[in-house]
Structure 1
Amino acid sequence: MRTHLKAMLGLLVGAALTLSPQAAALAAPPTVVTGEPAATATAPHAAADPAYKILVFSRTAGFRHSSIDDGLTALRGLGTANSFTVDATEDGAAFTTGNLAQYKAVVFLSTTGDVLNATQQTAFEQYVQGGGGYVGIHAAADTEYDWPFYEGLAGALFHSHPAIQPAVVKVEDRAHDATAHLGATWQRTDEWYNYRTNPRTTARVLASLDESSYSGGNMSGDHPIAWCKDYRGGRAFYTGGGHTDESYTETAFRRHLLGGIRWAAGMTDADCRPETGYTALFDGSSTAGWKQAGPGSFALADGTLTSQGGLGMLWYSAKEYTGDYSLKLDWRAAGDDNSGVFLGFPASDDPWSAVNNGYEIQIDATDAADRTTGAVYGFRSADLAARDAALNPPGEWNTYELRITGERLEIFLNGRKINDFTNTDPARSLRQGHIGLQNHGDGDDVAFRNIRVKQSGGQQPGPRTGEVKGVNGKCLDIDNAQTADGTKVQVWTCNGSSAQTWTVADDGSLRALGKCLDVSGGGGADGTKIQLWTCNGTGAQKWAPQASDGTVRNPQSGKCLDASGGTWNDGTPVHLWTCHTGPNQKWTLP
Structure 2
Amino acid sequence: MRNHLRTAIGLLAGALLCAAPQSWAAQPAPAPRAAAAADPAYEVLVFSKTAGFRHSSIDDGIAALRELGAAHGFGVDATEDAQAFTTGNLARYEAIVFLSTTGDVLNGAQQTAMEQYIRGGGGYVGVHAAADTEYDWPFYEGLAGALFRSHPAVQRATVEVEDRAHDATAHLGTTWQRTDEWYDYRTNPRTTAHVLASLDESSYSGGSMAGDHPIAWCKDYQGGRAFYTGGGHTDESYAEPAFRRHLLGGIRWAAGMTEADCRPETGYRPLFDGTGTTGWKQAGPGGFTLADGTLSSHGGLGLYWYEAEEFTGDYSLKLDWRMSGDDNSGVFVGFPASDDPWSAVDHGYEIQIDATDAPDRTTGAVYGFRSADLAVRDAALNPPGEWNTYEIRVTGERLEVFLNGRRINDFTNTDPARSLRQGHIGIQNHGDGDEVAFRNVRIKAEGGTTPPVPRSGEVRGVGGKCLDVDGAGTADGTKVQVWTCNGTGAQRWTVAGDGSLRALGKCLDVSGGGTADGTRVQLWTCNGTGAQAWAAQSDGTVRNPQSGKCLDASGGTWNDGTAVHLWTCHTGPNQKWTLP
* Fold similarity call, TM over 0.5: yes
Amino acid in structure 1 at the alignment position of 2:207: G
- 2:101 is the alignment partner of 1:122: no
2:132 pairs with one of 142, 148, 167: 142
- 2:84 is the alignment partner of 1:94: yes
- 2:148 is the alignment partner of 1:154: no
Which digits, 9 at most, give the CA deviation of each residue in 1:345-372, with x for residues without a partner? 0000000000000000000121100000
> Which residue number in structure 1 is paired with residue 367 of structure 2?
377
2:397 pairs with one of 407, 422, 434: 407
> Which residue number in structure 1 is paired with residue 186 of structure 2?
196
> Which residue number in structure 2 is paired with residue 17 of structure 1?
24
- 2:307 is the alignment partner of 1:301: no
> Which residue number in structure 2 is paired with residue 358 of structure 1?
348
- 2:212 is the alignment partner of 1:206: no
> Which residue number in structure 1 is paired with residue 239 of structure 2?
249
Q: Does the 8 Å contact 1:16/1:338 carry over to 2?
A: no
> Which residue number in structure 2 is paired with residue 343 of structure 1?
333
Amino acid in structure 2 at the alignment position of 1:17: W
TM-score, reference length from structure 2: 0.74
The alignment partner of 1:425 has SS state of coil
- State the Cα distance separating 1:138 from its structure 2 match: 0.1
Shift of the 10–371 alpha-carbon distance from structure 1 to 2, 3 Å rule, reads closer
The alignment partner of 1:177 has SS state of coil
2:208 pairs with one of 218, 222, 233: 218
- Structure 2 spans left out of the alignment, 5+ residues: 449-580
Which digits, 9 at most, give the CA deviation of each residue in 1:267-315, with x for residues without a partner? 0000000001101000001011000000101010000000001100100
2:11 pairs with one of 5, 8, 11: 5
Shift of the 9–117 alpha-carbon distance from structure 1 to 2, 3 Å rule, reads closer
Shift of the 392–162 alpha-carbon distance from structure 1 to 2, 3 Å rule, reads same
Amino acid in structure 2 at the alignment position of 1:8: G
> Which residue number in structure 2 is paired with residue 62 of structure 1?
52
- 2:286 is the alignment partner of 1:280: no
Amino acid in structure 1 at the alignment position of 2:220: D
Shift of the 95–16 alpha-carbon distance from structure 1 to 2, 3 Å rule, reads farther
In 2, Cα distance between the equivalents of 1:165 and 1:396? 33
> Which residue number in structure 2 is paired with residue 572 of structure 1?
none
TM-score, reference length from structure 1: 0.73
In 2, Cα distance between the equivalents of 1:168 and 1:195? 18
Q: How does 1:12-51 map to 2 (within 5 A)?
A: 12=18, 15=22, 17-19=24-26, 46-51=36-41
- State the Cα distance separating 1:211 from its structure 2 match: 0.2
Which digits, 9 at most, give the CA deviation of each residue in 1:136-182, with x for residues without a partner? 00000000000000000000000000000000000000000000000
Shift of the 173–44 alpha-carbon distance from structure 1 to 2, 3 Å rule, reads farther
Q: How does 1:499-538 map to 2 (within 5 A)?
A: none
- State the Cα distance separating 1:11 from its structure 2 match: 7.2
- State the Cα distance separating 1:45 from its structure 2 match: 5.2
Q: Does the 8 Å contact 1:16/1:440 carry over to 2?
A: no
Q: How does 1:187-586 map to 2 (within 5 A)?
A: 187-457=177-447
> Which residue number in structure 1 is paired with residue 70 of structure 2?
80
Which digits, 9 at most, give the CA deviation of each residue in 1:94-143, with x for residues without a partner? 00000000100000000000000000000000000000000000000000
Q: Does the 8 Å contact 2:17/2:359 carry over to 1?
A: no
- Structure 1 spans left out of the alignment, 5+ residues: 25-42, 459-590
Q: Does the 8 Å contact 2:258/2:382 carry over to 1?
A: yes
> Which residue number in structure 2 is paired with residue 111 of structure 1?
101
From the CA coordinates, give the structure whose radius of gyration is larger. 2
The alignment partner of 2:423 has SS state of strand
Amino acid in structure 2 at the alignment position of 1:438: Q
- State the Cα distance separating 1:14 from its structure 2 match: 5.7
Which digits, 9 at most, give the CA deviation of each residue in 1:209-229, with x for residues without a partner? 000000000000000000000
Which digits, 9 at most, give the CA deviation of each residue in 1:552-578, with x for residues without a partner? xxxxxxxxxxxxxxxxxxxxxxxxxxx
- State the Cα distance separating 1:457 from its structure 2 match: 4.4
In 2, Cα distance between the equivalents of 1:159 and 1:230? 24
Amino acid in structure 2 at the alignment position of 1:263: W
The alignment partner of 1:46 has SS state of coil
In 1, Cα distance between the equivalents of 2:356 and 2:24? 15
- State the Cα distance separating 1:7 from its structure 2 match: 1.7
In 1, Cα distance between the equivalents of 2:248 and 2:410? 34
In 2, Cα distance between the equivalents of 1:309 and 1:208? 36
Q: Does the 8 Å contact 1:334/1:394 carry over to 2?
A: yes
> Which residue number in structure 1 is paired with residue 172 of structure 2?
182
The alignment partner of 1:340 has SS state of strand
- State the Cα distance separating 1:435 from its structure 2 match: 0.3
Q: Does the 8 Å contact 1:165/1:191 carry over to 2?
A: yes
Q: Does the 8 Å contact 2:13/2:35 carry over to 1?
A: no
Which digits, 9 at most, give the CA deviation of each residue in 1:232-275, with x for residues without a partner? 00000000000000000000000000000000000000000000
Q: Does the 8 Å contact 1:339/1:440 carry over to 2?
A: yes
> Which residue number in structure 1 is paired with residue 463 of structure 2?
none
- State the Cα distance separating 1:10 from its structure 2 match: 8.1
Shift of the 9–385 alpha-carbon distance from structure 1 to 2, 3 Å rule, reads closer
